[in-house]
Amino acid sequence: MLNKIVCVALPGMAPFEFGVICEVFGLDRREHGGPSFDFHIGTAEPGPIRMKLGFDIIVRDDLSEAADADLVAIPAYLDGEAVHPEVLRVVREAEARGAWVLSVCSGAFVLGQAGILDGRRSTTHWMYTDKLAAEFPATEVDPDVLFVEDRMVVTGAGTSAGIDAALHIVRKELGAAAANVIARRMVIPPQRDGGQSQYIVAPVPVQRSDSFAAVTEWMLEHLGHDLTVDQLARKALMSSRTFARRFRAEMGTTPAAWLNRQRLIRAQHLLEESDLSLEQIAAQTGFGAAAVMRHHFVKTLQTTPTAYRRAFAPRVAV
C-alpha cells in the first residue's frame, strides 16, 4: 500500500517540479474523500538548499526516512550538478526492495546515475532525451511520452507531466477515485493518457476552442448508447469527415479512442463505488457486455474488471 513518501531535495532543483511532488503527495485530502500520505522531505546534507532559480529553502531532515519509504521521488534539478552518493544509495535501495521510484523531468539523470534505468524504458523532458540516451545507453528512452512506468520505476517528462506520472502511481496503488480527488483539488484532468496504461503515447492537448465542448459533454452524458461518428458529426453540425479530422486535431485522439477511454474511466468509478454487476456496468458504460468490457480492461489497464474491483472497492469493516 502506498503510504510513506520521501521527496529527495537536491541542490539546483527546479521549484515547480519539486512543488508537484509536494502538492500531489504532501497534502491531507481526507476531508474530500482522498488520501493522506506520510510525507517527508529529506536531503543528503540538511540545511540550505539552493534552488535552480537562485533562492534557498531550508531542509532540516536527512534521508533516513527513505529506508522504508513506499515511494522515493526525485524532482528536476540542474543537470550537471554532482549527485551526492547518499542520494544514489537511497535510490538503489528503494528499487532493490521493490518500492516505487519516481523522477520528474531531469530527475531521470539521477536514476540513470544510480543505475536503475539499465534494462528499462524511460523518458525525460524532450530537451534532454538525446542526452539521457547518450549518457545511459542501457535504457530505452522514449522522447514522445508524458511518462513511462517500467517495473515500479516511473520517469516523467517535463513540468506538468510530473503530475501525470505522480497521479499514475496513485491510481495504480489506490484506484481512480483517489487520483480523481487529487486532480479535482488541483483543477487538472485526472488522466491524460490517450488510452495507454503504462506509458502515454501523446498528451491530450487542451482544447484551443470550445467547438467540441458541447458534443463531448453530450458524449459523456450518453456513454451507454451506441455513438457513431456520423451521429456525433450531426450533433456538431459538421460532415463526418470534417468532424473526425477536427476532433483529432483539437483533442489529440480519434472520437472512438476518446469515447472508449471515457467509458473505461466511468467503469472504473462504478467498480469502485457501486455494487452493480459487471453486466450492468458494461451496459451503463456502453461496452454492451461484460466480456467486451473485460477485453478493454485487459488490453488497456492490464487487469480484469473483477480484479480491479477486488483491489479498489471499499472494504467493509467486520
Q: For the chain, what is the radius of gyration of the CA atoms?
A: 21
Average pLDDT over residues 213-217: 85
> Of 94, 75, 267, which is closest to residue 163 (Cα–Cα)?
75
Taking the C-alpha atoms of residue 66 and residue 153, their distance in angstroms, rounded to an integer, is 16
**CA dihedral sign, ordered 52, 94, 127, 82:** positive
> Of 17, 42, 7, which is closest to residue 105 (Cα–Cα)?
17
For the chain, list the domains and their CATH numbers.
4-186 (3.40.50.880), 205-318 (1.10.10.60)
In this prediction, residue 192 has a pLDDT band, given cuts at 50, 70 and 90, of: low
**What was the pLDDT predicted at 310?**
83
**What was the pLDDT predicted at 190?**
58
Taking the C-alpha atoms of residue 267 and residue 293, their distance in angstroms, rounded to an integer, is 9
> Of 194, 191, 188, which is closest to residue 256 (Cα–Cα)?
194
Residue 314 has pLDDT above 50, yes or no: yes
Cell of 101: 521510484
Query: In sequence order, what are the residues at sequence separation of 6 or more whose Cβ sits closer than 8 angstroms to the Cβ of residue 210?
Result: none
In this prediction, residue 184 has a pLDDT band, given cuts at 50, 70 and 90, of: confident
Q: Which residues pair with 100 in a beta bridge?
A: 71
How many other β-carbons are positioned within 10 Å of the β-carbon of residue 138? Answer: 10
The region of weakest confidence among 87-101, 102-116, 229-243 is 229-243
**What was the pLDDT predicted at 250?**
78
Report DSSP letters for 47-66, one per residue.
EEEE-TTS-EEEE---SGGG
Taking the C-alpha atoms of residue 2 and residue 158, their distance in angstroms, rounded to an integer, is 24
pLDDT tens digits, 255-295: 998 899 889 989 988 998 899 999 999 999 999 999 999 99
Greater pLDDT, 264 or 99: 99
Residue 203 has pLDDT above 80, yes or no: no
Number of separate helices (H) and strands (E) present in the chain = 13, 10
